[in-house]
Structure 1
């Protein structure tokens, strides 16, 4: 499935629904580590295997034995490691880095990728024999734009989730026009983008800013905007003649706009934290995971001096 569709969520659900639900679930991101680190992470190493290896360390396959190991972004795994992974899948055995004995494991393997592995095999970037070893039960997770019936449910779920994490007591609901736009939007970042957008709204981002981004993204990516369903101000899709004729030097820099947006969001989040803790600054600083001194400085800088302001 595409990036952000929820592949890890599905992997964890499979684990919870399996006979190994009470055993370990171990995740390894195959795209996040360079070759040498990924090999030691997966298969472990013996003491003295390399400089700095002062003690034996088991790999993720050993830790996941009798449980489940989730290989995220397996399509990014280097070819040399693909061969070693194939060996583990075929025999259930491998040797640690610097080791001479084979280690036997019994882990169930779930692998995920956003690659087109058929294309990668044709171009020699993914081993065909490994593909057929992994491709026993195949689950295709469709992008969010192909399951629009889930958008309202997921939006409500993320609103409740982020309210709970941020301890926001006020109720929150999308206005009608933005709710329609959520349904029409093509969500290139899928569920992850939806979660991020809901969080932005909850911490005080301007709904009109998000509406503008969505409409411009749809236009740029070739997704038509239904103007009968969604009110689309002309200045959102195309600049006005006044904007076009305005001198370039009168435009604000992206750096200035980013700084202003950051101040706005920080102020909203700090106020929410203060409200949630009854304006106890020490508790609020712990909630925000910053020092008391840093919170005091930010409040002064943002003009947050008391409950009324």
Structure 2
């Protein structure tokens, strides 16, 4: 089935135009957006509309494997290259020759591997682990990320030279909460699709009067969350009360927000950790304040989730919507540690 973007928002219209232009050129591309917005769908559309359609399409999830395994997965290896290398394995760079290499979660690629990938892209050839021979590689690179790569460059977590090598053009997908006009079209498309797929009828909750509520919801999981809700409603034939439990009662939310607004805004002095002292006007750099407040919020949210999950990091990283590796790095940076029990 041909991939397509569902919706009428200006953002999607811009992306459709970008895809039609970029697909013909083979420019290396970064697709940016929050988790669940549909980055892989855009990658598929670029591939399907390109001259390389029908050639290899090879995906690498940079967040799914430890550093050493990711390197051997990318470059391949020869027999005897390391303990356990009992036979030759073709790497993703070799498999993708003549086609497209999709680097998902590129922001999680370790710096050492970023350098090796950069050399392979610059030279148009690579060397498998343990081999003395180099191989030509003609590949189109498309990367996807939910990271702010420019900020990662500032923080020393991503290479500037690799960024400009793979970022010949950028496609940005806005979160679903910024394009509610797409929701009725998504509900119809996926509602019809899942009803047909599972041999069910569209639930009343989707048919009558629920679109309004779906459009007001903030969708932290974006389109993926909407898909999961529609599947549940259709397969289990659940009703409006169940929808309330999944996306919350908007009247209660509005009431809660109103009461929050009546509460005083957190004190600037406390937020900046100045121990009761009034801040010096010459030290109120927004960049520095942004870093402090970002760390403050990260610490509060990550601590809360870790405490509620009993410091189950695998579960916590899924709830937080970040990779396991990123969570471990934040725990170290924020100097968080599990509670000690007697």
Q: CA shift at 1:170, angstroms?
A: 6.4
Could you tell me whether the CA contact under 8 Å between 2:74 and 2:91 is conserved in 1?
yes
- Secondary structure, aligned partner of 1:152: helix
2:99 aligns with one of 37, 45, 67: 67
Distance 1:176 1:124, change over 3 A: same
> C-alpha displacement at 1:203, in angstroms?
2.1
Kindly indicate whether residue 39 of structure 2 is the aligned counterpart of residue 7 of structure 1. yes
Note closer, same or farther for the CA distance 1:219–1:116 as it changes in structure 2 (3 Å cut).
Answer: farther
Choose the corresponding residue for 2:213, options 181, 186, 193: 181
Distance 2:252 2:73 in 1: 43
Which 5+ residue runs of structure 2 have no aligned equivalent? 1-32, 259-342
Do the aligned partners of 2:103 and 2:142 also contact (CA within 8 Å) in 1?
A: yes
Aligned twin of 2:83: 51
Contact 1:45-1:98 at 8 Å conserved across structures: yes
Query: With structure 1 as the length reference, what TM-score do the two structures score?
Result: 0.68
Change over 3 Å in CA distance of 1:148–1:133 after alignment to 2: same
- The CA distance in 1 between the partners of 2:159 and 2:235, in whole Å, is 45
Separation of aligned partners in 1, 2:125 and 2:38: 30
| Residue number in structure 1 paired with 2:242 | 209
SS in 1 for 2:206: coil
Structure 1 unaligned blocks of 5 or more: 226-309
Q: Give 1:1-309 correspondences, 5 Å limit.
A: 1-168=33-200, 174-204=206-236, 205-215=238-248
- Distance change in 2, residues 1:221/1:92 (3 Å): farther
Q: Determine the C-alpha separation between the residues in 2 that align with 1:41 and 1:167.
A: 40
Contact 1:15-1:21 at 8 Å conserved across structures: yes
What residue in structure 2 maps to residue 287 of structure 1?
A: none
| CA distance in 2 between partners of 1:108 and 1:155 (Å) | 34
Moved over 4 A (4+): 169-173, 216-225
SS at match of 1:27: strand
Offset of residue 168 of structure 1: 2.4
Q: Using the TM superposition, give the Cα deviation of residue 128 of structure 1 relative to its aligned residue in structure 2, in angstroms.
A: 1.0
Cα pair 1:201 1:207 within 8 Å, conserved: no
RMSD of aligned residue pairs (Cα, Å)? 2.4
Return the structure number with greater relative CO, CA threshold 8 A, min gap 6.
2
Whole-Å separation in 2 of the counterparts to 1:172 and 1:56: 56
> What is the deviation of 1:51?
1.8
Deviations 1:66-107 (A, max 9, x none): 111100000000111110111122111111111111111101
Supply the distance in 2 between the matched residues of 1:134 and 1:218 (Cα, whole angstroms): 46
Q: How many residues align?
A: 225
Report Cα offsets for 1:22-54 as digits up to 9, x if no partner: 212111111011111111111111011112211
3-state SS, counterpart of residue 70 of structure 1: strand
The TM-score, its normalising length taken from structure 2, stands at 0.61
